[in-house]
Amino acid sequence: MEELFSSLVRDFVDETAPIAREVGGLLLKLEAVWTAGGDAKPLLRAVRGGLHTIKGNSAMMGLAPIERVAHALEDVCAQVEGRQGREQAAQLLFEGCDLLLALIQAALAGSVDGKLADAFVERARASSEAAAAPKMISVSDESSPPAEAAGSVPPVAMDSEEGRGTARIADREVDDLLELTGETIVGHTELARVHGRLARGQFEASDVALMDQLLTDLGRTTREMRHKLLRVRLAPIATLFRRFGRFLRDLARERGQAIELCIEGGDTAVDRAIISRLYEPLVHIVRNAVAHGIEPVDERVARGKPAKAQILLSARLREGRVNICVADDGRGLDLRAIAAKANAQGMDTGNLSERDLQRLIFQSGFSTALSVSNLAGRGVGLDVVASVVQGLGGSIDVRGTSGRGTVFVLDLPVTVSLQKALIFGVDSETFAAPAGFVLDTMESREKNMQAIGRVLLVSWRGDFVRAVDAGRLLGCQGLAQAWARPYAIVLQAGNKRGALLVDWFSGVQEIVVKPLDESLAGCRMIAGATVLAQGRVVPILDCVEVVRRTNVALLPETPSVAKAEASYDVF
């Protein structure tokens, strides 16, 4: 019984929290329309629709405090129509909406604070009495879902924002998955039947063909299943970006300055695991942009910029990865301040390029804020942001033009967990190389190999590629004459190539990527691990690092001595 109830509460939270967030977004628009002086009625109606749904849902769950707050907010909406006191109403609505969200989430823990709710309801009533509405306009279409009226925001299908790990799946998708599961089970049963016959020694000539067919079918259904499940994990990045509307509004108010949020590519689908972990880093970057980048209004006007500042959040798919930009039209990075700061820390910046200088801001202990304000100087640096992004398998970069603005670019995988990889072995060890970096595989015959001094080269399509014995590079124990390995894997990372000499490789296969513990962060050539058949753990190469090292690796001074000492001349 208890379990049933708690699952109902979970459903309630999963369903209602997104609506509350939705209402929050609508309020931002509403405020904008009020300021601009447009027709706010459709928006107001949408807000009321959302509130009404929240009210109904919470009444059904017997969560009276939430119901009362939603009701009070509906009243605020009703009374504000066609009248003044909008600013006060907006503030009440914003606060009430925050409170709703907090209360809804508190329902999960079973601790909805009735006092908080009552205090708010009381305040809302007091303010509406003070405003003393002469007439109340009733809105007939209260039950219309908020999204329809807003016109642009689709109903939230997935609530990834809290990182609680719940996904909402359309019935149809569940049906599809069930059907695929059914097919898999049938396939298994068939295979078991054939196996039974074989075990009894009753082999039939047609069994090979039958098993062929069964295996092909099983392969297809399991692949499809995974593909469909993977899609469930994806969510539009707008769910993340939209949270910044409110965040920026509050930041802008604090500074008494108008800042506009522009969103592009909000429908880009990204793994929910990534979305949920990106909020904090983006908050930091956006806060940084406002604190360090955007000039006060008078300075902007003096520079001939529009008084209203802009922050752009954009997402774009590129080569199987997603690029997220946070751009502002502020004063850009102050290279001189960065250099001064670096010098103060005892760093020589004389021979650093502009790009290198800019990237210094990702080092720890680097903050060039002139004054420690509420926004900046909280002790969390961009270095933390950079490490979070790296933890997700991505990278971060910054570009700025003095006086014109700053752009942060986050390059991330679309999904964190699945990758295609080439499995290869050297000595008795097995490794995986992400397929995106693998250009080619080939036999490494002696006539392909050439040593110039201590540099080993392999010829590949008329080109020479630096090569290294994978066993030596990866520190495996075993035989190692540089060209004794039968195969070479040609890797490309960025514009650099490198070849690994290996004992064997098997085809490209999909692997599930597992992160490694921080205690292994020093293993720069290894990006993670995967678990292959029979539970075998296999390290995944960080091909960028591997290619870099391949290009500085040298053959042992005199091979025979090097073998005896097992020395490493790779860096």
Partner 1 sequence: MSSDARPTSEGGQAENAEPLLAFADALLASTPHDPGRAAGQVQQYVTFFLRDDEIGIPILQCREIVRIGAITRVPEAPDHVRGVVNLRGRVLPAIDTRKCLGYESAPATARSRLLVVEVAGRAFALLVDRVSRILKLAPADIAAQPENAKVRSAIGVARDGNSTIIITDAERILRPGCASEVPTPRSEEA
The helix (H) or strand (E) run that includes residue 488 is strand 487-493
Q: Kindly state the DSSP code that residue 292 receives in the 8-state scheme.
A: I
When the beta carbons of 302 and 566 are compared against partner 1, the nearer one is 566
If binding is defined by CB under 8 A, does position 347 make contact with partner 1?
Answer: no
Among 156, 529, 547, 555, binds partner 1 (CB under 8 A): 529
Pick from 64, 136, 178, 520 the residue near partner 1 by CB under 8 A.
Answer: 520
Which residues lie below 8 Å from residue 192, measured CB to CB, with a gap of 6+? none
| 371 or 534: CB nearest partner 1 | 534
* In the complex, least distance from residue 569 CB atom to partner 1, rounded to whole angstroms: 11
In contact, 504 and 430? CB cutoff 8 Å: no
Which of 143, 189, 481, 506 lies at the binding interface for partner 1 (CB under 8 A)?
Answer: 481
Rounded-to-integer distance, Cα 277 and Cα 173, Å: 26
Q: Which is nearer to partner 1, 462 or 522 (CB)?
A: 522
User: CA dist 346 to 33, 274, 367, 440, Å?
Assistant: 52, 37, 15, 45
538 binds partner 1 (CB under 8 A): yes
Crossing angle of helices 272-288 and 243-255, rounded to 10°: 10
What is the total residue count of the chain?
571
Region 107-166 residues binding partner 1, contact defined as CB under 8 A: none
H, E, C per residue of 368-431: CCCCCCCCCCCCCCHHHHHHHHHHCCCEEEEEEECCCEEEEEEEEECCCCEEEEEEEEECCEEE
Q: Is 447 in the site for partner 1 (CB under 8 A)?
A: no
Q: Determine the Cα–Cα distance for residues 404 and 331; give it in Å rounded to an integer.
A: 6
Beta partners for residue 318, in sequence order: 321
Judged by CB under 8 A, which of 38, 320, 478, 494 binds partner 1?
478
Minimum separation from the CB atom of position 257 to partner 1 (A)? 40
Does 518 sit near partner 1 (CB under 8 A)? yes
Query: For residues 421 and 431, what is the distance between their CA atoms, to the nearest angstrom?
Result: 10
564 interacts with partner 1 by CB under 8 A = yes
Q: 83, 227, 445, 524: which one contacts partner 1 (CB under 8 A)?
A: 524
- For residues 345 and 477, which CB has a smaller minimum distance to partner 1 in the complex? 477
Which of 209, 531, 557, 561 binds partner 1 (CB under 8 A)? It is 531
Q: Cα separations (Å) of 557 from 446, 448, 551, 564, 567?
A: 20, 21, 17, 12, 10
- According to the binding rule CB under 8 A, does residue 535 interact with partner 1? yes
Applying CB under 8 A, among 157, 185, 484, 561 the residue interacting with partner 1 is 484
Nearer to partner 1, 94 or 424 (CB): 424
Closer CB to partner 1, 142 or 569, in the complex: 569
Binding of partner 1 by 519 (CB under 8 A)? yes
- On whether the CB atoms of residues 261 and 311 are closer than 8 A, the answer is yes
- Residues forming the site for partner 1 (CB under 8 A): 429, 473-475, 477-481, 484, 514-526, 529, 531, 535-539, 548, 563-564, 566, 568, 571
